[in-house]
Chain A
Amino acid sequence: SQTIHQWPATLVQPVGSPLSLECTVEGTSNPNLYWYRQAAGRGLQLLFYSVGIGQISSEVPQNLSASRPQDRQFILSSKKLLLSDSGFYLCAWSVYRRTGELFFGEGSRLTVL
């Protein structure tokens, strides 16, 4: 069966520090991969999605970046965090032929102080 792992689960970072969130999927090949951010009490904002290794689509111009170095690995990064980067970050995957049915990780809660 397929599983998705996302880490770290919680982190507190000072403004201006770097960020790296990692997500891996097991049990499937060539998944579509997604990074979403959710502010407190709000819906999901699409940040990045990827349909293959090295193929990244960015939805929101900001100080975040994403990379997909391997088929089932998706990384969200920042060189310098802003206060507004605080939120709940969710990684998700979908099967190529059923792209709307997303399977989410448990999320990473980021607080920037």
Chain B
Amino acid sequence: EDQVTQSPEALRLQEGESSSLNCSYTVSGLRGLFWYRQDPGKGPEFLFTLYSAGEEKEKERLKATLTKKESFLHITAPKPEDSATYLCAVQASRGASKIIFGSGTRLSIRP
């Protein structure tokens, strides 16, 4: 069964304190791994797609990386506006229209 596990469940950082969020996955043939950002009471917003081990994507203070078993979302010198829940999702080669999400990491950045 395809599974996505995210850690930590919650993370509180001081403004400017860099850190990483983890997404471990088990899937029969990875077609794609995705990162989303979700603000309270809103639908998730797409951030990145990663397709193969070794791939990296960057957007402002965020960088996503991928290995054969996990993905990391690195946040460098975060600001309070980066506070949100970050969700990881996977798409398997078999049943490729099905997108499975992890439970997310709630990130809080203190000024």
Contact = CB atoms under 8 A, between A and B. Distances in A.
A43 B103 contact: yes
Interface residues of A, number: 27
Contact of A57 (B44, B49, B98, B101): B98
Given A44-B101, A57-B98, A101 B43 contact: no
B54 interface: no
Given A90-B43, A106-B42, A99 B99 contact: yes
B101 A46 contact: yes
30 contacts: A32-B97, A36-B101, A41-B106, A42-B104, A43-B87, A43-B104, A44-B44, A44-B89, A49-B98, A51-B97, A57-B98, A90-B43, A94-B99, A99-B91, A99-B96, A100-B31, A101-B49, A102-B34, A102-B36, A102-B46, A102-B89, A103-B46, A104-B43, A104-B45, A105-B43, A106-B42, A107-B41, A107-B42, A107-B43, A109-B41
Q: Sort A-B residue pairs by CB-CB distance and give the 6 closest, nearest first.
A: A104-B43, A43-B103, A44-B101, A100-B32, A100-B91, A43-B101
Interface of A: 32, 34, 36, 41-46, 49, 51, 57, 59, 90, 92, 94, 98-107, 109
Interface of B: 6, 31-32, 34, 36, 41-46, 49, 87, 89, 91, 96-104, 106
